Amino acid sequence: MKLKDPEHAAPADAAEKRHVTPIVCYPVETLPPPDLSGYRAARQGWEKVAEVTVPPREARTFEVPAGSFFRIVSVEGPQVGDFNLWNAADHAERFYSGKTRALHGTHLSTGDRLWSSFPAMRPMATITEDTLDWYGFDDFGGSVHDVIGTRCDPYTNRLLAGGDYHHCCHSNLTRAYADAAGLSLAEAEPFVHDVLNVFMCTGFTRDTGQYFMKASPVRPGDFLEFFAEIDLLGALSACPGGDCGSKHSSDVAACHPLLVEVFRPKAPPAGWQPPEKNAYGGSHGR
């Protein structure tokens, strides 16, 4: 939120400066588009090989081999989930929400990809179906599946509300990752990173530019489906805010479980190959 200093008067050409046409920072036309028809054709005859139920106010991990599909599913009531993703063989390579946002926008849907951190910077997963893509952007500028919120956490909660709350998504993901990786909580916490907020409806207020949330439009049976481009370890937290229509980091909100389903196709999509790591040589000018 920007505070205006009365000593800093607007220049005479303020209106002209405000009306300069914006430029997209990272045009993606040079990126090869995902072959959605090929991905979807590979679903014919697939087999569900695993499922994980994520309890309310908890997190769970799951693995997805490259060339497989997975879905995050609403099963009982409106519930949002905070989602982390790692290269299953090298957890230093993980989902980079900031660069994904820069490439695809503030909210993700069908055809968008989840990009990994430097130096690998490659697609980790591709969104192949989104049953909430009908929502688009509402009159408040809100939409679903954002990469702008970081995850609810006990540190911010302590600053703003006082006291300790241990079922924030950050803590849930830390516990789940620690168990999966065989690490202490202190060792595991640095691996927890900014999330894809699955099913969460969010945006920025137009007057103050503050991050807002509103009740998610998700219904039982809705899902977000991904294709795993590399071997993946995922972690999903069923947010303590429920549908995030009132507050989060709370035991008051109505919360529901989420379901993760993993599917193995009979064969990978025609012509598909796991993406190589980014080709930049890493010299950084030296």
For 218, left (φ over 0), alpha (ψ -120 to 50), or beta? beta
Q: CA–CA distance from 86 to each of 6, 58, 62, 139, 200 (Å)?
A: 48, 19, 11, 35, 21
**pLDDT tens track, the chain, 286 positions:** 666 677 888 999 999 999 999 999 999 999 999 999 999 999 999 999 999 999 999 999 999 999 999 999 999 999 999 999 999 999 999 999 999 999 999 999 999 999 999 999 999 999 999 999 999 999 999 999 999 999 999 999 999 999 999 999 999 999 999 999 999 999 999 999 999 999 999 999 999 999 999 999 999 999 999 999 999 999 999 999 999 999 888 899 999 999 999 999 999 999 999 999 999 999 999 9
Given this model, what pLDDT does residue 3 score? 67
Given this model, what pLDDT does residue 8 score? 86
The C-alpha angle with vertex 23 and arms to 208 and 278, in degrees rounded to 5, equals 105
Whole-structure pTM value: 0.96
**Distance between CA atoms of residues 227 and 263, nearest Å:** 9
Burial class (CB in 10 A: 0-12, 13-18, 19+), 268: middle
CB atoms within 10 A of CB 78: 21
Given this model, what pLDDT does residue 248 score? 81
Given this model, what pLDDT does residue 2 score? 65
Given this model, what pLDDT does residue 76 score? 95
Parallel/antiparallel/unpaired status of strands 223-228 and 47-54: unpaired
Residues 6+ apart with CB under 8 A from 46: 69, 263, 264, 265, 266
Given this model, what pLDDT does residue 245 score? 95
Structure tokens at 20: 């300069």
Given this model, what pLDDT does residue 170 score? 98
**Distance between CA atoms of residues 158 and 165, nearest Å:** 8
